[in-house]
Amino acid sequence: MRPADRRPAVSPVPAPLALSLVVPVYDEAENIVPTLRRVAGAGLPPHELLVVYDKDEDTTLPVLARHEAEFPFARAVKNRRGRGALNAIRTGFDEARGEGVVVVMADLADDLAALGPMLEEFRRGADVVCGSRYMRGGEQRGGPRLKGLMSRTAGLSLHWLTGLPTHDVTNSFKLYRRSLLSEIDIESTGGFEIGMEITVKAFALGRRIAEVPSIWTDRSQGESRFDLRRWLPRYVGWYLYALRTRFGGRASREG
């Protein structure tokens, strides 16, 4: 009788991931399960979802733990760069394993039905794909009127003045090529303006940018932490960066 084969079992190689979804959270107990169910029903290619939290007592975490078996693609990631939405997003970028990385809010505001068309543009070679509220087929439902007016004005004016290939540069709902994220020196210090920074810098580098229509819907559960007065100057800074890059050849916000 031949001796039994005692070679150690070979661990299976994890399947490559097409997509990483980064979801920054702050006490999103009411929203996280509906968000995960929308992701599960979106017909996405192999993917992971990173729930990035600031504090160990975040109310999102026990809810996520109770539904672990239902959503095996989701995992909690502690924000190790410092508290706040910006650092949560950057931690998600650090941890992402997918070829594409998309930022999704846990408040059900983003249009997950747009992910399919966004991935199609990504497969055609786009390095940034913007979900756009302000192109034909896009829409913004609810939210503060002043915030919406300023966002629309910024997006449309940059598109027409600089040729930036999106009508909605301020929207956080964007799909990025992960290799691009490693090339860009992120300078944002506030919050969600990071999406605008990456887009205008990618444009300055000559990278391909595309957009697809998406519908943004104001949250129905929980409280928004978007502080217009605090973050507006940072959006203005990247708006001026885009103008200087287009008309003055400057690649820095300084000077």
CB 84 within 8 A of CB 57: no
Q: 165 vs 234, which has greater pLDDT?
A: 165
Q: Quote the crossing angle between the two packed helices 228-247 and 145-162, to the nearest 10°.
A: 10
Of the candidate ranges 97-106, 173-182, 234-243, the one whose mean pLDDT is the lowest = 234-243
Q: 244-255: per-residue pLDDT in tens?
A: 988 875 444 443
* Stated pTM of the model: 0.85
What DSSP letter does each residue of 119-147 carry, written as one string?
Answer: HHHHHTT-SEEEEESSSTT-EEESS-HHH
Q: 127 vs 227, which has greater pLDDT?
A: 127
List, in order of start, the domains of the chain with CATH numbers. 19-247 (3.90.550.10)
Q: 127-163: per-residue pLDDT in tens?
A: 999 999 999 999 999 877 887 888 899 999 999 999 9
Q: What is the percentage of the chain residues whose pLDDT exceeds 90?
A: 72
Compute how many other C-beta atoms are within 10 angstroms of the C-beta atom of residue 226.
Answer: 14
Strand, coil or helix: what is 149? helix
CB 209 within 8 A of CB 132: no
Whole-number pLDDT of residue 224 = 52
Whole-number pLDDT of residue 26 = 94
